[in-house]
Amino acid sequence: MSNEQPKIPQATAKRLPLYYRFLKNLHASGKQRVSSAELSEAVKVDPATIRRDFSYFGALGKKGYGYNVNYLLSFFRRTLEEDEVTEVALFGVGNLGTAFLNYNFSKNNNTKIVMAFDVDEQKVGTTVGGVPVYHLDELEERLCGNIPVAILTVPAVAAQALTDRLVTQGIKGILNFTPARLNVPKHIRVHHIDLAIELQSLVYFLRNYPLPS
């Protein structure tokens, strides 16, 4: 985000791409106005939370009128720096890594995986989803301090050593799909996504906190 944007809660920041995606769909369908109730139904966030999220950015809508879709779309495009492409490197071209490469965030115009790394000689030198796969030994040569974000889908035992190398290459953010809890300097942001834990958590809530039918 631009330094000119106000400081907002992290929970709000995580919801902004969700709002933006829905607004793009509304714009494509020709809709001009949207209420917080309509937004709530679509993105499954309660209207009060939506109004509070939007309030951090000033008066984005009018009471009784709702929100102007074109204005909101333009606003969130600037806020999310949609016009700037963030290049991403992926590490580990296994089943999950391959899925990422084939998908390559096709619904996000501002995020693109531009290179991948693995140690499997059968994968090195190939392209997956149009993305070249390099040997992990080429990490420093290929990154050259120009890639700000990394996705890790490597074995957990290799995650920390790889992270240490990424830190020296100027990586600012890591999306970690390994079970390893990474140690990084304070200026580097890590988002841990453990699919096994998320699934176990979902099953627990289904069993113990059933939703009304």
pLDDT at res. 2: 43
pLDDT at res. 82: 58
pLDDT at res. 6: 53
The residue assigned the tokens 């984005």 is 60
Any binding-site annotation on 170? no
Given this structure, which CATH class describes domain 86-197? Answer: alpha beta
Contacts of 83 (CB under 8 A, 6+ apart): 77, 110
pLDDT, tens digit, 9 for 90 and up, residues 64-95: 567 888 888 888 777 776 557 889 999 999 99
Any binding-site annotation on 30? no
Any binding-site annotation on 93? yes
Three-state secondary structure along the chain? CCCCCCCCCHHHHHHHHHHHHHHHHHHHHCCCEECHHHHHHHHCCCHHHHHHHHHCCCCCEECCCEEEHHHHHHHHHHHCCCCCCEEEEEECCCHHHHHHHHHCCCCCCCEEEEEEEECCCCCCCCEECCEEEEEHHHHHHHHCCCCCEEEECCCHHHHHHHHHHHHHCCCCEEEECCCCCCCCCCCCEEEECCHHHHHHHHHHHHHHCCCCC
Q: What is the pTM of this model?
A: 0.68
Any binding-site annotation on 96? yes
Any binding-site annotation on 95? yes
pLDDT at res. 109: 64
- Give the domain ranges of the chain: 10-79, 86-197
In angstroms, the CA 152 to CA 134 distance is 15
What CATH architecture is 10-79? Orthogonal Bundle (1.10)
- As averages over each run of 10 residues, the pLDDT of the chain (213 residues) reads 59 84 85 85 87 76 72 79 80 95 77 95 95 96 92 96 96 95 95 88 86 75
In angstroms, the CA 49 to CA 76 distance is 17
Any binding-site annotation on 203? no
